[in-house]
Amino acid sequence: MIHREGHIILLITFLSLLIVNTLTLLWTVLAVQILVLIASVVVLGLFLQFFRNPTRNTVVNPGHVICPADGKVVVIEEVEESEYFNDRRIQISVFMSPFNVHVNRNPVSGNVTYDQYHPGKYLVAWHPKASTLNERTTLVIKNDRGVEILFRQIAGAVARRIRYYIHKGDQVEQGQEMGFIKFGSRVDIFIPVGSKINVKLDDNVTGGESVLAELDF
């Protein structure tokens, strides 16, 4: 399945490639025609894989924090979260390369208590300051046990189009699609200190399925 965020881009890409290949057939030699056709197939294939939206099977569990994005775990550390909690939290960051699925999903079920969009810079996604300086959205969901989980969609040097579909007051489900980041970036998740961490650095994780942590109720 192709994600709705890719429909217009894929249509424009297909029509552009169609025009280029038509002109190539009319005005160039066979060798050039073959090269352009191969390049066009590669480009279209890359766009199709980027906007793919595979089905994910989330095992809903109020004690689990589900990974909101596909990618690699690049940060696990205790930090001071200063935008919403103003206290110590465990930060887990997942880097999404252009080859990962870019659909973002809710880490827990519950009520959205905070959403905020921040314009900003476009530092590379793994830069330590990206979490606070880059364009980003901050979202907080409170589960039915009263525990709040904060997570951020962060734009990078290439990813400059963040989409999020949930807002303060919404009731959401764990694993449900909540947004999309175009062309590679990262997601930060902030969980309570004392939670059991189920991943380690450099682990490859799957959005909607991998359990990042277990909450300590």
Which residues have a catalytic role annotated?
185
Query: How many beta carbons lie within 10 A of that of residue 192, not counting itself?
Result: 18
Distance between CA atoms of residues 186 and 104, nearest Å: 10
Letter string b/e over residues 39-59, b meaning 16 or more CB atoms within 10 A of that residue's CB:
ebeeeeeebeebbebeebebe
Token pair 């650095």: residue: 201
Could you give the C-alpha distances from 216 to 19, 74, 158, 191, 194, in angstroms and in order?
58, 23, 37, 10, 6
Nearest to 212 by CA among 55, 57, 68: 68
CA-to-CA distance for 71 and 94, rounded, in angstroms?
Answer: 6
From 96, 111, 108, 89, select the one nearest 206 (Cα to Cα): 96
